[in-house]
Every structure is written in structure tokens, then in C-alpha cells.
Amino acid sequence: MISVYDEGKLLDGEIDTDVLDEIWCELFATLGLKDNFEAELTVVSKDEIRALNKEARGVDAVTDVLSFPTMNVTLPFDESAHAEDVDPETGRYILGDVVLCAERAKEQAQEFGHSVKREVCYLTLHALCHLLGFDHETDEDKKKMRKVEEDVLSGLGITR
């Protein structure tokens, strides 16, 4: 379950956030995982993401998306190793938080020549992959992550 917070209505009219639930479900289906996880996505301005990027990563610059994992996930997922990561109210594992810059997503959509919907879906998916332990530090890691991203997006018909 992904909860989306866009209090400033920065994506209002640009994307139906129900598609992010579809991204979530398709990601878990692609990975063969039970959907017993939760995460939060907060949509922010350039100023907000710049401040978060500086605080969290020491980088004083606007970025498109940030991931803040609350658990160290490796796949295949071992439930017994994460008993302390379960939300007692929901019974779901708490993956973490994603922060997305709406303005940067809109700019990148224009730069890449595709829709804002596609860019927001990609950025959200990319960040969720990070929460699930994927990375792109090495070429092999990058290939694995990109394959998952492309499988999920193409599975939903979200193309460039």
C-alpha cells in the first residue's frame, strides 16, 4: 500500500494518483512478493526537495526523487528477519518514504519528450525499487534495477 500526500496539489490535474497504486501492485507482482508492505510518497516543491537533499545527502541541489528506507531489504524477502519492522496497526512491513519533486518531474517529462504521468510513475517506481534494496552502483545492479522498472512500466502500458 502506498499512501500519497500532495498537500500543495503540485500534481493536481497532471496525474491520477490511482496509477501509483497500480505501479505498486505491478512491482510486487513482478518481484513475486506478497503485498504486505507500506510506504509513503510525499510530493514537494523544488525548495523543499533541495533542503531535504542537502540535509540527507549533503548535496545542495534540486533533485527529482529521494528514497528514505526504514529497513534494510534484501530479496528474497525473509519475514522472520524483519519482525520489528511490522506496523502493529496494519500488520504491514514499513518500507520507508519517498519524496518526489513535482516541478522537476514536469521539467524532465518535457526534456525527455514524454508525459508527466510517465515521469511521475517512473520516478515513484525507481524510488520504490530503492526501498526494496535495488541499487545502481554497479553496471550489473543497474541492469537488474532497469529490467524491473521496464517490466513494471511496460506491464501497465506506460511507455515513453
CATH value at residue 67: 3.40.390.30
The cell numbers describing 42, all together, are 510525499
Rounded to two decimals, the pTM is 0.92
Residue 160 lies in a domain: no
Residue 97 lies in a domain: yes
The whole-number pLDDT of residue 32 equals: 92
Structural domains in the chain (count):
1
User: What letters, b where the CB count within 10 A reaches 16 and e where it falls short, cover 67-80?
Assistant: bbbebebeeebeee
Q: Domain of residue 109: give its range.
A: 2-155
- Fill in the DSSP letter of residue 66: E
Residue 122 lies in a domain: yes
Q: What is the pLDDT of residues 107-160, one digit of tens each?
A: 999 999 999 999 999 999 999 999 999 988 888 999 999 999 999 999 999 987
Q: What is the pLDDT of residues 65-107, one digit of tens each?
A: 999 999 998 888 888 888 888 989 999 999 999 999 999 999 9
Residue 45 lies in a domain: yes
Within 10 A of 34 (CB to CB), how many other CB atoms are there? 10
Tell me the mean pLDDT in the region 1-18: 86
